[in-house]
Structure 1
Amino acid sequence: MTILDRILAQKEIEVRELKAIYNAHKVETVQERPSLYDNFQQTEKINVIAEVKRASPSKGAINENVDPISQAKQYEQAGAGAISVLTDVTFFKGSMADLSAVAKTVKVPLLCKDFMIDRIQIDVAKDHGASVILLIAAAMSEDRLKDLYDYARALNLDVLFEVHNEQEAETALKIGARIVGINNRNLKTFDVDLGVTERVASMLKGENILLVSESGIRTRADVEQVEAAGAKAILVGETLMRSDNIAETMSDIRVPLLKAVK
């Protein structure tokens, strides 16, 4: 059983629990945020989705004692175009409380980073302030992905549709995904290869799709490599979480969009 299989099995348990106890309440008015898609299409530098990430299955503890509010403020002040908050409890040590706290702190687009397999999770994410949700092509059938994609869009949420290979990129095209994240990490082996972005991006050019390169982005050279392949954005977690100077790290990785801006 792969780590993804284990995570999805846990999500099935969580969904059953949510359906028993959770009602989409929308007690507080959710702050209107700018569209990630629209904002990211208009910039002249690579867009950074900066991630609040306490731990991961592949790296273990990264910064378990992080103050998500302080971290998110630093990201926004340093120029992050959006912020991602890990909300998975079991494998990433995150929480919806983290998402809610960050939602009250920043004004940029906010991604609920979790393994979505049911509509109720999308309701919960929106209730806690998310303006973007994640769908992972490898996690579900095309029919279920399409249902959740359409449901999220009907709620005026952006969707980061994550793919790992050419076949999943075809699924993204069929579904009509307009923000596609190309994950450079193999979910079975956890090996990271930036060449994945280069290979898969070639299938998605010319489709008015916003390409986001995910995982393994550590240096300016890494960013330049995926930008040259067509990525307009990068999702960065561990590198920023371990940084001693977030402003300096952010400045270093926000390279000009040479391929996208004439």
Structure 2
Amino acid sequence: MSTILDQIVAATRDAVDRRRAEVPASVLEAAPLFTQPTRPFERALRGAHLAVIAEIKKASPSQGVIRSDFDVEQLARAYDEAGADAVSVLTEPRFFQGSLDYLTLVRQTIDRPLLRKDFIIDPYQLLEARAAGADAVLLIATILDRHHLHDLHQAATELGLACLVEVYEMAELDRIDFDQVRILGVNNRNLHTFTVDVNHAVEVFAHVPESLVRVAESGIRSGRELAYLHAHGADAVLIGETLMRAPAPGDRLRALRAEAASSTPTPSSLRS
């Protein structure tokens, strides 16, 4: 029986084949944004403070529509004004109701580094990302073998795109070439139970080189969790649903940072 991830990858493969037939690579390479310099995604995540990648996401397979009042331009401006260090844009259309057009609109609206968050399995998607204005792409280790991950990372780098390489489980670290990868994300969601534990990222961070930019992803809801993650190895966090469900996402981001600045949490206090 296939998992939701299997279904997403299969649908992505079909969709990429259709788009490639409709829009050749040469057309993407001729797009105005394709040749523009990318913004420094990695540099935006390095520094003394905990960086925040704020996400624009309309829906998910498990939650359905997360935000019905979905004005991409307004959301981008809110994140920009709240000081997000980078912005992630969901572009997968079938399961997350995303679009590459959203990415281009965000690029036209703000000057922050942008991450294309999608299920990247084909070099053609890297060309799409570049043509739409992305500065970085997500590469998910659980859907790529070591060779495929290495080749996509290399192809992205040659296009000027940074790569956020994401793992769900400790065992997936074996797929990563640590001489190549510079930004590692750890997803706190268990793909089998769909439960979330922010301590999972901390556990994985302890087994990777400190030279990497380390990003904690999924299930981050409080400033105390931000402070805890930063104290235990995170250089950045990616926050999506918590912001998308807030009436004013920019204000929610400011509040999370203010709470983090005044927090010294212990693991047992994170959900209290």
Structure 2 residue corresponding to 1:25, chosen from 16, 21, 29: 29
Q: Are the aligned partners of 1:205 and 1:230 in contact in 2 as well (CA < 8 Å)? A: no
Q: Are the aligned partners of 1:64 and 1:93 in contact in 2 as well (CA < 8 Å)? A: no
More helix per residue: 2
Structure 2 residue corresponding to 1:233, chosen from 218, 236, 245: 236
Distance (whole Å) between structure 1 residues aligned to residue 209 and residue 214 of structure 2: 9
Structure 2 residue corresponding to 1:127, chosen from 128, 131, 135: 131
Residues 168-214 of structure 1: per-residue CA shift (max 9 Å, x gap):
123234462111110001223211111210110001142x1001100
Distance (whole Å) between structure 2 residues aligned to residue 165 and residue 173 of structure 1: 16
> Which residue identity does 2:54 align to in structure 1?
A
Quote the offset at 1:141 in angstroms. 1.0
Quote the offset at 1:29 in angstroms. 3.6
% identical aligned pairs: 37
**Residues 80-91 of structure 1 mapped to structure 2, 5 A cutoff:** 80-91=84-95
Distance (whole Å) between structure 1 residues aligned to residue 8 and residue 197 of structure 2: 22
Structure 2 residue corresponding to 1:116, chosen from 99, 114, 120: 120
Distance (whole Å) between structure 1 residues aligned to residue 30 and residue 193 of structure 2: 40
**Residues 8-87 of structure 1 mapped to structure 2, 5 A cutoff:** 8-23=9-24, 24-30=28-34, 31-42=36-47, 44-87=48-91
Distance (whole Å) between structure 2 residues aligned to residue 209 and residue 249 of structure 1: 28
Unpaired stretches in structure 1, ≥5 consecutive residues: none
> Which residue identity does 1:224 align to in structure 2?
A
Distance (whole Å) between structure 2 residues aligned to residue 25 and residue 32 of structure 1: 14
Q: Are the aligned partners of 1:46 and 1:227 in contact in 2 as well (CA < 8 Å)? A: yes
Quote the offset at 1:14 in angstroms. 1.0
Quickly say closer, same or farther: Cα 1:95–1:64, change in 2 above 3 A: farther
Quote the offset at 1:122 in angstroms. 0.7
Quote the offset at 1:33 in angstroms. 4.1
Q: 2:269 maps to what in 1?
A: none
Residues 68-118 of structure 1: per-residue CA shift (max 9 Å, x gap):
011011001100000111001100011111111111111010011100000
Q: Are the aligned partners of 2:145 and 2:175 in contact in 1 as well (CA < 8 Å)? A: no
**Residues 137-216 of structure 1 mapped to structure 2, 5 A cutoff:** 137-174=141-178, 176-206=180-210, 208-216=211-219
Unpaired stretches in structure 2, ≥5 consecutive residues: 264-272
Q: 1:242 maps to what in 2?
A: 245
> Which residue identity does 1:204 align to in structure 2?
V
Distance (whole Å) between structure 2 residues aligned to residue 14 and residue 175 of structure 1: 32
Cα root mean square deviation, aligned = 1.8
Structure 2 residue corresponding to 1:224, chosen from 199, 223, 227: 227
When normalised by structure 2's length, the TM-score is: 0.89
> Which residue identity does 1:192 align to in structure 2?
V
Structure with the bigger RCO (C-alpha within 8 Å, sep 6+) is 1
Q: Are the aligned partners of 2:80 and 2:112 in contact in 1 as well (CA < 8 Å)? A: yes
Distance (whole Å) between structure 2 residues aligned to residue 29 and residue 2 of structure 1: 36
Does 120-129 or 236-245 show the bigger shift?
Answer: 236-245
Quote the offset at 1:40 in angstroms. 1.8
**Residues 97-108 of structure 1 mapped to structure 2, 5 A cutoff:** 97-108=101-112
Quote the offset at 1:39 in angstroms. 2.3
Q: 1:4 maps to what in 2?
A: 5
